[in-house]
A and B are shown apart, each in its own frame.
Chain A
Amino acid sequence: MAGGLSDEELLRRCRRNEDAAAFESLVQRYEQELFSYLRRYLGNAEMAEDVFQATFLQVHLKREQFEEGRRFRPWLYTIATNQAIDAQRRNRRHRMVSLDNRTGGEDDVGTLVEMLAGKGQTADEQMEVEEARNWVRSAVDDLPESLKSALMLVYHQGMKYREAADVLGIPVGTVKSRLHSALLKLNESWQRSGRAVPEAMEDGA
């Protein structure tokens, strides 16, 4: 029954306390999608699970504050992102060291096309998939927080620039430039690592 309802309608039902299953439907609906986001964002499955639960607790507690006319998904991601940042701060992981090690910020980059055009790298090197995945996760994890969140939302979560801007509370232009910077930095790291750019992946690879 809840399957055909929009997220916003489900939340409306939660607010009116008229449908006990509505909240559960929302949680189930975002179980995989949000967990994937948090898992990548935090780099740790256990923390991702904790933050997932904390996010939906906040959704429940703040359901009365959800503004009519707003979309649920960006609101959910805003809460989840803030919860993830909180969790990282609480955990006091290695962030400060990592930030210090990072070179520059968002603006000290050239153009993506310039960087790639001159390299002429062939795509004949087969990467071991798991190793490459771990490398990518590690490289993404090392990005500055602001670049990482833009990359996660647009690339991994498939959001439009506008939706990501809504989640992060920043102008669309800033999302564009952050994503662009993130890709440049990742490719710089990729090339520094001496790896060949992989061939386009087949679906499902």
Chain B
Amino acid sequence: MREDELVGYCLGALEEGESQQVELALADPVRGPDLRRNLELIRKALRPLDRDRGPIAPPGGLAKRTVAFVASQAAPATVPMRPATTRPAPPSRDDAEWQGTSGRQWLDRMIIAASALAACVLVAPLLLESITDARARRAQRNLQSLAGSLQGYAGAHRQYPSPPGEGPLSRAGLYAPTLVSEHRLVADDGTVLSPDSELSRRGNFRVPSMEELRAAIGTPKYEELMRSMGGDYGYTLGHRDTTGALLPILDQHRGHHPLMADAPNDGGERSDNHPEGVHLILFEDGHVERVHTDTMHRDDHLYRNHDGEFRAGKDAEDAVIGDSHHQP
């Protein structure tokens, strides 16, 4: 009997059938004495933990505050329209007077029109900026969420998702099925989308499972899945050593080394995720930066390796972010 089964038995973590098997083994005249001794030792090992057992009281009103918070955050993001009834009526004038033709009235109307125009000129860019900013923030949240999932994966596997060095599934976008369907580290497929992107607007995006991908090899659907599986974000193509072998993507906590970013368009110079020219880059240490197209390739081309190819880096410092279908 394995020790972890005895631990599970102590903690009630086994299924009913498994627990019964343990009980049978404990009652066994041959194996029983040793197992019971081990069980007692395991119980002893658990005792220190008992010092911090039991629920921790939540702060008062947490549930109510949470419901209110969710209500405030989840309300439809509409620009509030001023109700017609709140429009200030011209004071002490009836309609006929308001539509009069005196010079004073014309002047009033001109002033109001000019004020409205000025307000539009001032407010419209701010509104646009606000919408743009909100979109970038949502995209940033998605990347940040993916950073957490990638970190979780790296914690368990001692490397980030790394595509195979060759073969039909050797593509950058394989990170998404790895996180979403294979390891279920991402609960929402939409996390790999950038808000308002074409894929996002279609409304039916789903990260394919590994089984779907394998089944699609050799079929017309294959190329489509390769192009879309990674969503709107590109993923590092890693780097190859001098023998040409693709190396596992390790978490070296480098704050300068990109791990993911807005995926490149077909031109490979910029991404189409943010029309305003902002690009988001997730770095190995988990922080996300917003950069502008003008500066994103300044030190090292984000989407090409040192040989100018959409391929894996030439060395450990040659970071290359590939679109979903790009091969390392």
Contacts and interface: CB of A to CB of B under 8 A. Distances in A.
Given A35-B62, A78-B187, A89-B286, A156 B53 contact: yes
Contacts of A174: 156
B152 A85 contact: yes
Interface size class of B (residues with CB under 8 A): 35 or more
Interface in B183-227: 183-190
A177 B7 CA distance: 10
A186 B148 contact: no
Contact of A146 (B11, B53, B65, B156): B156
B70 A53 contact: yes
Given A56-B70, A57-B69, A85-B148, A136 B56 contact: no
A5 interface: no
Interface in A136-182: 136-137, 140, 144-146, 154-156, 158-162, 164, 166, 168-170, 174, 176-177, 179-180
Contacts of A83: 148
B51 interface: yes
B253 interface: yes
Nearest to B65: A53
A89 B45 contact: no
Given A49-B62, A199-B47, 19 more contacts: A24-B63, A35-B56, A58-B187, A78-B184, A81-B152, A82-B187, A86-B144, A92-B286, A96-B253, A137-B52, A154-B11, A160-B13, A161-B14, A161-B15, A177-B4, A179-B13, A180-B4, A187-B45, A200-B50
B145 interface: yes
Given A78-B184, A82-B187, A89-B147, A140 B13 contact: no
Nearest to B58: A35
Interface string B16-31: 0000000000000000
Nearest to A28: B63
A47 B70 CA distance: 17
Given A105-B158, A155-B11, A158-B12, A200 B3 contact: no
Interface string A38-74: 0110000100010011001110111001000000000
Contacts of A86: 144-145, 147-148
Contacts of B11: 154-155, 158
Contact of A160 (B15, B41, B151): B15
B49 interface: yes
A140 B52 CA distance: 10
B55 A33 contact: yes
B191 to A, nearest CB: 9
Given A113-B41, A158-B12, A180-B3, A198 B50 contact: yes
Contact of B55 (A32, A111, A190): A32
B243 interface: no
A168 B153 CA distance: 10
Contacts of A199: 47
Contacts of B188: 58, 62, 65
Given A32-B58, A105-B158, A136-B51, A85 B151 contact: yes
A169 B184 contact: yes
B48 interface: yes
A133 B51 CA distance: 5
